[in-house]
Amino acid sequence: MKKLLAVTAALAVAAPAYASLKVDSRYDYFTANTQSTTSSSYSSESGFLFNRLDLAGEEKITDNVSGKARLNFMSFASAGTLNDTASGNQAAKVSRVNPVLNGLPLGGIPSTGVGDIVDFAQITMRYNNWVAVSAGKFERNGFGGFESEVTSADLYFASQGYFGSLYLTGANVDVTITDTQDIKVYLFNNDNSTDGNRMSYNVVYRGSFGNLDIGANYGVLAEGTTVGTTYGTKDVNRQLVNVGAQYKMGDWKFRLDYDNMTNGGMTGSYTGTINAASYLSNRGNNTQANTVVAAARWDLGNWSPWVQLESTTRTGYQGALSGDSNDSIFNASIAAEYKTNVNDPFRYQAAWVQSSASLAGYANNTVNGSYGFLGVRYMGDLLK
C-alpha cells in the first residue's frame, strides 16, 4: 500500500508536465454459466467486478520527442477466483472469463505484482517525416490484427489471436512509406521464456485507403528451447501471422482478422527405452491455431450496438493424455453502449457472450458457456 501511495503522489506532483492525465476505470456486474459434457458438471457464479483502474499520461516533450505511460493499479491485487474476497479486490483476479476455453479476458490480463504496475512507458523520437524510433515498454506490440488494437476494456470477449494486453519491453523503428502507409519493426524481450529472456520480433504493415484500412504482421514470440538426451529438443517459440481489414461506411464500422499461431514441438524422436505415451507427454506445445474474428459496430449518437464473432480451429498436441487432437472454438457477443452525450466521461454497457468449445481428443469434451455484463466505464482527463 505504501508503494501504491508513493506512486500516486509522484504522478500528482508530475501532473502539470503532462498534456493529458487520464483516468480509465470499469465496473461490472458479471454472470457466468458453464456446462461440461465430460463430467456432466454445471457451474454458475456472479458478482461485482472492479475490472480496471488506470492512470495514463501523454506529453509532447519537444517538436520531435514525445512520451506516454500508464499505471495499472489493479496489479496490486493478488491472483484468486471470482468469489475469493480475501484481498477485497475481485477485479484483478479474473484473468479469463472461461479458463477452459483459453480466451475471453475480462478487462485485460491482470498482473500479479507491483513490478507490473507500469502497463507501458515509452518515448518516441521522430527524426524526419519518414523515420521514428521508440523505446520502452510498448502500449502496442504489433502482434495480432485490428482486434488487438482495441483495448480489452472495450471487449466482452477476446479471441485466441488477441495480444492487446501483452506489454513487452524493447525498441521499435517506424518507417513511413506514404502519408497513409507505414511499416513498423519491433524487437522485444520476452521475460516469460523457458530459459531466460529471449529476443522476440514482429514486422507490421498498416495502410489506409479511403474508408478501407488493411494490415498484416509476421512475428516470433521467443519462449526458448529445452534440450533432452532422451526426448530430443523441444522448441516452444510461437510464430504469429495476421492479415486483417477494417472498413468504415457511414455510421458503420466493420472489422475482419485472420490469425495463425504455431507453437514449435519436438525436433527429435523418442528412443526405444521409453514408450510412445511417455514421448507424447514430453512433446511440448506442438499446436497450430487458425482464428477468424469478425466484428461490426453501429454508432447511433448516444447508442452504439455492436457484435463480434470468433471461429478458431486448433490442431496438434493438447495434453499428455490426449495426444493429437482437433479442437474447435466459437464465441459470439452482442453488446450495447450508451452515453448521455458525446462529452460524457461515463459510458454504460450491457453485453451477452455465448461460447462453445469442442475439445476432440481431450476426452471428447464439449464446454458451453454464457456470460453477461452490466456495467459502467469512466474515462476522464484530470487536467481538463
What is the Cα–Cα distance from 42 to 103, expressed in whole angstroms?
A: 19
Burial class (CB in 10 A: 0-12, 13-18, 19+), 178: exposed
Radius of gyration of the chain (CA): 22
Residue type, 127: Y
Question: Contact 290/190 with Cβ under 8 angstroms?
Answer: no
Burial class (CB in 10 A: 0-12, 13-18, 19+), 51: buried
Provide the total of helices (H) and of strands (E) in the chain, helices listed first.
2, 18
Tell me, what's the pLDDT at 6?
Answer: 47
Tell me, what's the pLDDT at 111?
Answer: 35
The CATH code that applies to domain 2-381 is: 2.40.160.10
pLDDT tens digits, 95-145: 333 333 333 333 333 333 334 688 889 999 999 999 999 999 888 888 889
Strands (E) across 79-162 are located at 118-126, 131-137
Residue 199 CB: number of other CB atoms within 10 A?
A: 12
Residue type, 277: A
Task: Inform me whether the pLDDT recorded for 87 exceeds 50.
Answer: no
Residue type, 198: R
Question: What secondary structure does DSSP assign to 177-228, as a single string?
Answer: EETTEEEEEEEEEETT-BTB-EEEEEEEEEEEETTEEEEEEEEEE---EEEE
Beta bridge partners of 185: 173, 203
Tell me, what's the pLDDT at 193?
Answer: 52
Split at pLDDT 50, 70, 90, the class of 155 is confident
The structural domains of the chain, with segments of one domain joined by +, span 2-381
Over residues 367-381, the mean pLDDT reads: 87
What is the reported pTM? 0.80
Tell me, what's the pLDDT at 254?
Answer: 97
Residue type, 377: R
What is the Cα–Cα distance from 56 to 54, expressed in whole angstroms?
A: 6
What is the Cα–Cα distance from 308 to 331, expressed in whole angstroms?
A: 8
User: What residue has cell string 495476421?
Assistant: 242
Over residues 341-369, the mean pLDDT reads: 81
Task: Inform me whether the pLDDT recorded for 304 exceeds 90.
Answer: yes
Over residues 194-215, the mean pLDDT reads: 87
Residues 6 or more apart from 36 whose CB is under 8 A from it?
Answer: 42, 100, 365, 366, 367
